[in-house]
Structure 1
Amino acid sequence: MAKRPNSRVIRAARTYTIDEAATALGVSTGTVRSWVKAGLPLMKSQRPFLILGDTLRSFLQDRAAGAKVTLQPDQLYCLTCKAARTPMGHMVDCIPQTDKTARLLGLCDVCGGTCNRMIGNAQIEQIVRIFSVAMKDGSTA
C-alpha cells in the first residue's frame, strides 16, 4: 500500500517547483502532476510553474481528510471494498499487537475479503458485547 505524503514537511511561506515538491514529499514528479490535474493550483505567470506551500499543504490535508472512514462500533474496515462493513456472522479474531493495542480481523459480509480494525486493549470488553471474539491464543472471549 502506498504511503501517504506528510504535509507537515511543506513550509507554508515557501514556493515549490514540481520537482522540489516531489522531493520534499518523497513522491514522484508524476504524482505531483496528477495532483495538479486533480485540482492543485499552480502559479503559471512564469516558468518554472510554482506551487504555493500553503496551498500544497491544504490540498494534501483535504485529500487525507476525505480518505478517512468513520467506523461504527459494530464495523470493521474492509480492505477490498475500502468501506466500513459488518463482519460475517459478527465473528472476529482478536490479535494482540502491542501491550496497549489489538487488531480485530473478520471477513466482509459483502465481498468476503479481510476486514480490519485496531483497538485499545481497554476496548476489548466492549467489543466482546458486540462480536463473537476468538483470541489469538485460542480462547474465546
Structure 2
Amino acid sequence: MRAQGGALALVAALAAGCADTAGDAPVDPAPARPAEEYLGVETRLLDDDLVTFRVAMAGKAPADALRAYTDCAAARYALIRGYGFARHVRTNLDREGGTTTADAVYTISAALPRGVHPLDAATVAGACDDRGIPTV
C-alpha cells in the first residue's frame, strides 16, 4: 500500500507541474526551453527488465533536462514493451563539443517496482507528449 501511495504522489506532482530534482527523484518533464534541441535516443536492452538509454541534446543542456529526456524515453519504452512502470537506476552525464549526453539505466516492470522513485509509464509519457519532449 505504501508503494501505491508513492505512485499517487508522483501522479499528483506531475499533474501539478512540480519538479523534484533532488538526488534520484524523477524529474517532472518541464516545458522545453526554446534553445534546447533533442538529438535522439539510443536504446539497448541489457536484460529482460533492464534497459539503458543514451540521449543527446545540443549545447550545454542542464542535468534536469537530460533527466526528463531519459525519463520520457524510459516511460515510452516501458509502454511499448507492455509494461506499466519504470524505475531510474543511474545516469552518467558527459559534455563534448557542442553536445551533452546522458547514459541512463532503468528497470521496467508490469507491477509497481520496489525502490525509490518509480515512474508510472502512462502518466509520464503523457506529460512528455504534452510538453514536446521526444520519446523512443
Radius of gyration: which is bigger? 1
Shared fold per TM-score greater than 0.5: no
Which structure features the higher share of strand residues? Answer: 2
Q: Which TM-score applies when normalising by structure 1?
A: 0.26
Task: For CA contacts below 8 A with separation 6 or more, give which structure has more relative contact order.
Answer: 2
Q: Which TM-score applies when normalising by structure 2?
A: 0.27
